[in-house]
A and B are shown apart, each in its own frame.
Chain A
Amino acid sequence: MMAKDIITRNNVTITGKGDRPIIFAHGFGCDQEMWRHVAPAFEEDYRVILFDYVGSGKSDLNDYDPVRYGQLDGYAQDVLEIAEALELRDAIFVGHSVSGMIGTLASISRSEYFGQLIMLGPSPCYVNDLPDYYGGFDRKDIEELLTMMEMNFTGWASYLAPIVMNNPERRELADELEQTFCSRDPGIARQFAEVTFYCDCREELNKVTVPSLILQCSEDSIAPIEVGEYLHSNLRNNTLKLMRAKGHYPHLSHPEETTQYIKQYLMHF
């Protein structure tokens, strides 16, 4: 694939006056819009790169391959391909939620592309593996979530699909369906959920060489504090910051605190 095709495929947008690249990667169920309160704060000093993973936001859905995106490595491949297309070296990678691990995997493949990894509410494994590991969720919670997603989109969408097909003049029905959620295709959303919540990257952590910052929110029900501490003790050369921000979206709820921690950390390099 040509560089310009990658740029289109992943809806890459570049702003900023600086030279050093900083790439913001959205989490599950989101797109690059989620960085709207944080990214502008870096435009003065950095080259700011935003993108949507294939299957999310305004990416090209035709490029979605269920085999490739059947594991986090497929998403890491998106990051690497964008880095290659833009010839990035020593870039700062900021990843929210599952993107923390996606960036980690990408950095294991090509460490020279990345200078620092910054992770907001990351988790190497969401499912508990007791007594050694607490991820926050039992397998049955995840199963229930997937059923719920099915009730919410996959199911309804598939009931509605025949109606749409039989009513070509009711095109607006199909458009409405497409807009139902962040990811336009419910099948993609469900697979992304499965890949995310069943992932287990614990074995990969000791392969990471790039220094990292872990931003741990207080009272985050997706990535609890135990998970942040696990990462802190299993990643080489990392800094753990406990944020005042509550919830799982500090870049939305506490953009100033988020920005400040990132800038503070980058001052050390």
Chain B
Amino acid sequence: MDDQLNYAPCGFITLSNTGMITDANQTLLNLLKYERGELLNRHIETVMNVANKIFFHTYFYPFIQLNGYVNEIYLTLKNKNDMEVPVLLNGVRKERDGDTYIDCVLIEMRKRIEYERDILSSKRKLEELNQAKDEAHETLKALNEELEKKQEELIKLNRSLEAQASTDGLTGVKNRRSFQESLEGSMSLFNRLQIPFSLLLIDIDYFKRINDTYGHPVGDEVLIKVAKIMQSQSRDIDIVARYGGEEFAIILPDANRDNAVLVAERYRMEIQQGDWGEYNITVSVGVATVSDADDEETIVSRADQSLYTSKSRGRNRVTHSDDRS
């Protein structure tokens, strides 16, 4: 080996086709801290740790056998004192005098490997962070979904509570509390925007007699059926409510006197013509239409007086407060 190669600024080593070291330059010997005689005719494994041996046998060797070269292989050799020496290696397979050799150049990569390791560890950290972020995101998403579900349940529950609180348990129409609220609402609409409304108070005729004769269960059936008929006749905006005992109240928004009387008549007719079997069920109706002088109490009171008039005039009829006298 001439001086130029022997002291070249890179390591040079020749291996036999089975990996035995047949030659090495002084630069490489210095790098690995061996004397020439200590390395010649030894296997390249001598300067490798376990992982590097596997790597050599499973990658370097088959690749160079298949392709005749290897480029830019990173290896960590170990020197005579068992210290790590990271190198970058290029190798080529050559025929000489009927034998096959592998010639390699090696460059120590001290600084370079630090950069590589930095990049690798940054990449790992980034991957970990990304994973942590993804996991946090997933958790947040799951929590959010749960929250939404709970909120929906709550809204449903509230709706059902509201319905329960405003519904009459027996007949399914609005209860008196809810009626009172609606009446207040209608009153305030009238006061602010002059939107009229009428109020019907409907009482089942001779209800006490039915209860006494046939018993409460039959009385309840009648109440339910009357409520059903009224409900089926009402518009969406009408408020049908049980006012107490056998008395119902209906608010008809946007209905003037004539409309209210017509509607009241229709209710009365429908109930009279209902399929009651052996009973005879009719209702008496009192109607009042809101006026500027009214408040919640006075309009109810006027409707109530009209109802009283219907009763005293023979029942099964409609009386509007304007027509009482």
Contacts and interface: CB of A to CB of B under 8 A. Distances in A.
Given A29-B59, A148-B74, A181-B59, A252 B65 contact: yes
Contact of B66 (A147, A182, A219, A247): A182
Dominant secondary structure at the B interface? helix
A197 to B, nearest CB: 7
A153 B50 CA distance: 19
A222 interface: yes
B18 A246 contact: yes
B44 to A, nearest CB: 11
A197 B57 CA distance: 13
Contacts of A197: 54
Interface in B31-79: 43, 45, 49-55, 57-59, 61-63, 65-66, 73-76
Interface stretch (A12-20, A69-77, A99-107, A137-145): A137-145
A155 B66 contact: no
A193 interface: yes
B52 A247 contact: no
B172 interface: no
A155 B116 contact: yes
Contacts of B22: none
Interface in A142-169: 142, 144-145, 147-152, 155, 158-159
Dominant secondary structure at the A interface? helix
B317 to A, nearest CB: 84
B231 interface: no
A33 interface: yes
B19 interface: yes
B66 A151 contact: no
A141 B54 contact: yes
Nearest to B62: A30
Contacts of A137: 50, 54
Contacts of A149: 55, 59
Contacts of A159: 119
Contacts of A78: none
Contact of B54 (A145, A181, A252): A145
A9 interface: no
B123 interface: yes
Contacts of B62: 27, 29-30, 34, 182, 249
Interface in A96-123: none
Nearest to B18: A253
A198 interface: no
Contacts of A148: 51-52, 55, 74-76
A8 interface: no
Contact of B123 (A147, A155, A219): A155
Interface residues of A, number: 35
Contacts of B66: 30-31, 33-34, 182
A181 B63 contact: yes
B17 interface: yes
Contacts of B63: 29, 181-182
A221 to B, nearest CB: 5
Given A29-B63, A141-B51, A148-B52, A247 B73 contact: no
Nearest to A254: B18
A42 interface: no
B120 interface: yes
A230 interface: no
Contact of A155 (B17, B18, B19, B119): B119
A222 to B, nearest CB: 5
22 contacts: A29-B59, A31-B66, A141-B50, A144-B49, A144-B51, A145-B51, A145-B55, A147-B120, A148-B55, A149-B59, A152-B73, A152-B74, A155-B120, A181-B63, A193-B58, A221-B45, A221-B53, A221-B57, A222-B58, A247-B57, A248-B61, A249-B61
Given A29-B58, A151-B116, A197-B54, 8 more contacts: A145-B51, A150-B120, A151-B120, A182-B66, A193-B58, A222-B57, A246-B18, A253-B18
Interface of A: 27-31, 33-34, 137-138, 141-142, 144-145, 147-152, 155, 158-159, 181-182, 193, 197, 219, 221-222, 246-249, 252-253
Interface of B: 17-19, 43, 45, 49-55, 57-59, 61-63, 65-66, 73-76, 116, 119-120, 123
